[in-house]
C-alpha cells in the first residue's frame, strides 16, 4: 500500500493525496441520512490525465474507486461503501468555454451549478436545471444523477441539456461519448447512458452543455390550502388551463415551517393551512405572464386556496425561494430522515400524498412531504426523531418504504425522480424493474467495468436472484 500511495503522490502531488484520518473524514459522508463510510485514501487529481493515470493504477492493482463531486447527494452515491479510495473532482472546477454563437458551453465537472448558471446568464444565456442545492452541488454530480430541480417542469432535467461528455473509463481510457451537435443519430447514445449512471461506468471530466436564451421576466405566487390534497389536485388543473409554469412546488406546512424556523426567516403561517403551492411563471412577454397568473388565480379559487400571496419584489421572491430550497437541509436540523424521492404521473399526485400518509399510519412513521408537484415528484422525508436504531434500519420500516414504492408503480411512477438509487435505494430496485432488466443493467456495468472497481455496491442490488 505504501508503494501505491507513493505512486498516487507522484501523479497528483502530495498536497492532493489525503492520508490523515481527520482530513479523510470530510469525504466519508454526503447528505444521505447519517451514513459514514471512511475512505482508506482520498485522491484529488487536477486534470483528466491525472484521473486517467489514477484509474490505470487502480485498475492494475484492483483498487476500488468511488468518485465524488460536492457530496450533496441524497442516495449515498458518493459513499465509499466498499472501502478503497475516494476520487474527488473538486479541482476540475473551470468553465472552459461559453460559446455564445452556438448556445453551448464546455465545463469541468467540479463547477458549482450556480457559478455556471450565473456565468452563462452574464452572456444572456440560460442553463435551466436548478437543484435545490444549486449553490453548492457540482455539475458532475448533476450528470451522475440526472438532477432536476424546480424548473424541470417547464425546461426539463440535466439530460435535456447535455450534448457530449469526456469520460475516463475504469481502465484509464479517455473517451468522448458523443458529438457537440444539436442532433445526433449516430450509433448508441453513450452520452445518455452515462447521464444518471451515478459514477458506476466512468468518471466525467468534461461536459458540453446546450443552452437556451434567458427569459427576462418571472412572476411568483404562493397559495395556502387548508386541505393538502386540494393543493395536489390544483396542480394538474393549472396545466389543463393551458399554462406551463416554470415551477410548481408543493410544501406541507411542516416543511415550510421547519425551513423558515432554522433559517430565522419570519413568515406569517395561517393557522388553518396544511400545505402551500409555490408557482412561478417566466417568459419574454410580461403581458402573457400576467395573463397566465390570472388563469392560475382562477384555478386556485376553484380548488379552494385560502390565501394567495404575490411576491412583488425581488427580495420577496428570494425569500420564498430560500425557504423552499432550504427544506431538505433544514428538516435535517430537526431530525435525521430517510429521503424517498417518489415520482408518479402528475395527475395522480393526490393519490400519492394520501397513500404515503396512510402507509405512514400503518407502519408508524411520520413524514414531511414537499417537492416538484408539477412533475409528480414528491420528496417524502421519513422522520427518525426518537425511533430506535433497530426500527430505523429494521425490516418493518423497509416494508413500509416498499409499500410506498409499490404505490408509485401503481400510479404510473417509479422509485426515484431525481436523487438516484446510489446505496440506500438499491435494495428496492426490484420494485422498479424485472430480474431480466436488472441483469441487463448488470451486464452493461460489466462491459464498462469488468473488474468492478468503479463505485461498487451502488445502484444494482447485491443479490439479483
Tell me which residues touch ligand LAC (CB under 6 A): 131-132, 327-328, 371, 379
Name the residue nearer to ligand LAC (CB basis): 102 or 136. Answer: 136
Minimum CB distance to ligand LAC, residue 251 (Å):
10
Minimum CB distance to ligand LAC, residue 327 (Å):
6
Minimum CB distance to ligand LAC, residue 266 (Å):
21
Q: Kindly report the CA angle at 143 between 369 and 417, in degrees rounded to 5? A: 25
Minimum CB distance to ligand LAC, residue 79 (Å):
17
CA distance 87 to 203: 9
Name the residue nearer to ligand LAC (CB basis): 81 or 331. Answer: 331
CA distance 75 to 423: 6
Name the residue nearer to ligand LAC (CB basis): 137 or 243. Answer: 137
Helices (DSSP H) in 183-313: which residue ranges? 190-194, 228-240, 253-263, 286-302
Helices (DSSP H) in 253-374: which residue ranges? 253-263, 286-302, 314-325, 327-334, 349-363
CB atoms within 10 A of CB 452: 15
- The grid coordinates listed for 100 are 455564445
Name the residue nearer to ligand LAC (CB basis): 79 or 327. Answer: 327
Adjacent-strand bridge partners of 355: none
Name the residue nearer to ligand LAC (CB basis): 131 or 178. Answer: 131
Name the residue nearer to ligand LAC (CB basis): 107 or 251. Answer: 251
CA distance 108 to 123: 19
CA distance 317 to 13: 45
CA distance 74 to 407: 21
- The grid coordinates listed for 173 are 481510457
Minimum CB distance to ligand LAC, residue 325 (Å):
6
Question: Which among 90, 86, 95, 76 is positioned nearest to 29, based on CA atoms?
Answer: 76
Residue nearest to ligand LAC (CB): 132
Minimum CB distance to ligand LAC, residue 49 (Å):
34
Minimum CB distance to ligand LAC, residue 28 (Å):
21
Minimum CB distance to ligand LAC, residue 329 (Å):
8
Specify the 3-state DSSP secondary structure of 222. strand
Name the residue nearer to ligand LAC (CB basis): 66 or 416. Answer: 416
Minimum CB distance to ligand LAC, residue 328 (Å):
4
- Which helix (DSSP H) or strand (DSSP E) does residue 140 occupy? helix 139-145
CB atoms within 10 A of CB 443: 9
Each residue of 415-429: b (16+ CB within 10 Å) or e?
bbbbbbbbbbbbebb
CA distance 207 to 104: 10
Minimum CB distance to ligand LAC, residue 408 (Å):
16
Name the residue nearer to ligand LAC (CB basis): 328 or 350. Answer: 328
- Which helix (DSSP H) or strand (DSSP E) does residue 398 occupy? helix 395-410
Q: In Å, how far are 179, 200, 365 from 252, measured between CA atoms?
A: 43, 35, 16
Amino acid at each position: 500500500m505504501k508503494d501505491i500511495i507513493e505512486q498516487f503522490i507522484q501523479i497528483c502531488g502530495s498536497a492532493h493525496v489525503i492520508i490523515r484520518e481527520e482530513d479523510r473524514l470530510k469525504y466519508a459522508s454526503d447528505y444521505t441520512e447519517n451514513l459514514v463510510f471512511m475512505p482508506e485514501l482520498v485522491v484529488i487529481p487536477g486534470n483528466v490525465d491525472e484521473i486517467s493515470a489514477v484509474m490505470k493504477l487502480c485498475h492494475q492493482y484492483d483498487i476500488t474507486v468511488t468518485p465524488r463531486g460536492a457530496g450533496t447527494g441524497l442516495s449515498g452515491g458518493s459513499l465509499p461503501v466498499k472501502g478503497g479510495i475516494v476520487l474527488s473532482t473538486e479541482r476540475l472546477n473551470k468553465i472552459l468555454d461559453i460559446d455564445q454563437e452556438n448556445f453551448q458551453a464546455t465545463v469541468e465537472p467540479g463547477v458549482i451549478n450556480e457559478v455556471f448558471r450565473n456565468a452563462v446568464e452574464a452572456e444572456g444565456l440560460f442553463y435551466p436545471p436548478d437543484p435545490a442545492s444549486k449553490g453548492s452541488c457540482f455539475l458532475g454530480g448533476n450528470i451522475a444523477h440526472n438532477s432536476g430541480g424546480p424548473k424541470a417542469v417547464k425546461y426539463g432535467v440535466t439530460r435535456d441539456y447535455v450534448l457530449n461528455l469526456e469520460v475516463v473509463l475504469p481502465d484509464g481510457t479517455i473517451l468522448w461519448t458523443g458529438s457537440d451537435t444539436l442532433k445526433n443519430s449516430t450509433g448508441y447514445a453513450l452520452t445518455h447512458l452515462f447521464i444518471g449512471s451515478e459514477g458506476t461506468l466512468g468518471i466525467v471530466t468534461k461536459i458540453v452543455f446546450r443552452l437556451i436564451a434567458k427569459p427576462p421576466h418571472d412572476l411568483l405566487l404562493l397559495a395556502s390550502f387548508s386541505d393538502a390534497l386540494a393543493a395536489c389536485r390544483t396542480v394538474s388543473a393549472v396545466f389543463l388551463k393551458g399554462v406551463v409554469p416554470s415551477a410548481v412546488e408543493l410544501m406541507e406546512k411542516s416543511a415550510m415551517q421547519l425551513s423558515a424556523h432554522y433559517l430565522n426567516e419570519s413568515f406569517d403561517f395561517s393557522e388553518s393551512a396544511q400545505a402551500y403551492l409555490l408557482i412561478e411563471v417566466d417568459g419574454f412577454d410580461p403581458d402573457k405572464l400576467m395573463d397566465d397568473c390570472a388563469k392560475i388565480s382562477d384555478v386556485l379559487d376553484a380548488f379552494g386556496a385560502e390565501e394567495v400571496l404575490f411576491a412583488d419584489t425581488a427580495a420577496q421572491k428570494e425569500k420564498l425561494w430560500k425557504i423552499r430550497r432550504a427544506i431538505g437541509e433544514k428538516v435535517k436540523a430537526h431530525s435525521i430522515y430517510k429521503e424517498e424521492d417518489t415520482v408518479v404521473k402528475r395527475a395522480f399526485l393526490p393519490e400519492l400524498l394520501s397513500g404515503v400518509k396512510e402507509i405512514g399510519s400503518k407502519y408508524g412513521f411520520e413524514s414531511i412531504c414537499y417537492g416538484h408537484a408539477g412533475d409528480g415528484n414528491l420528496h417524502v422525508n421519513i422522520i427518525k426523531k426518537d425511533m430506535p436504531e433497530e426500527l430505523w434500519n429494521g425490516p418493518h420500516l423497509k416494508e413500509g418504504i416498499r409499500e410506498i414504492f409499490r404505490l408509485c408503480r401503481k400510479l404510473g411512477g417509479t422509485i426515484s425522480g431525481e436523487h438516484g438509487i446510489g446505496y440506500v435505494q438499491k435494495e428496492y430496485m426490484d420494485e422498479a424493474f424485472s430480474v431480466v432488466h436488472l441483469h441487463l443493467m448488470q451486464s452493461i456495468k460489466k462491459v464498462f467495468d469488468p473488474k468492478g472497481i468503479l463505485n461498487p455496491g451502488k445502484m444494482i442490488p447485491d443479490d439479483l436472484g
